Amino acid sequence: MSVSTYIGYIDTTEDALLVFEACRINILSRRTRRLAESERKYVESGSVFVWDETESGIRRWTDGRRWSPSRVSGCFLVYSELESKVSPLTTDVPLENGLIKKSLSLYTTENDKLHLVCYYRKSDLSRLRSPSSDPALCNIQVSRSLYPAVIPSMLQTLPVRQTQTMSGSGGSGGGKRRSSVTLATLPVNIRHAISMQQVQRRQTVGNNEPLPQPEPSVPSG
């Protein structure tokens, strides 16, 4: 029995956008309610869930498992499954052959807040197909103008190029340093996720200004 939106692996932001768009045009189905306790046993490697926060009323995704603190990977947050805790004093231990959970949240230009969660095991990646290699989804034309809010979460992890602003006629040292984010510095998966028009304009961040913060993550359930 499948209770998920999709079976496969979300490798890149492009994969996530393909699944979001497939749900929008009714090729795939979003979750409209939480997983019942009896359905949690069907969460397995390859399960992908998508939901609209307003449509479903789901703000916190729960799956009955214990997860590590999140780490950033591109524009995703990634969690590792932990062993069940037998007492409050027990140290958190990764579950042997446990699942990995990968999540992404974004707002559309229509002010819909969408969430995606993908579960997988590293040992299964060779058999799990990603949406960008799935004949049923790979040719979907993503309406990129709907998903601009994915950009700030990407900027958090971009490599930053340092440039030197020259001052004075001598032109040697002493000038202000600044960090700039350009198309050339974007990781490949992020280039695929946003349109060329949105990244042609150089994103410049002042020396003392923090990079934009990512969208709030899907809380670990």
Q: Are 117 and 61 in contact (CB under 8 A)?
A: yes
- Predicted pLDDT at 118: 98
Tell me: the pLDDT tens digits for 23-51? 999 999 999 999 999 999 999 999 999 99
* Segment among 85-89, 93-97, 162-166 with least mean pLDDT: 162-166
Dihedral of alpha carbons 204, 196, 103, 149, sign: positive
What is the three-class DSSP state of 72? strand
Residue 128 has pLDDT above 50, yes or no: yes
- pTM strictly above 0.85: no
Strand ranges across the sheet with 177-181 = 161-164, 177-181, 203-205
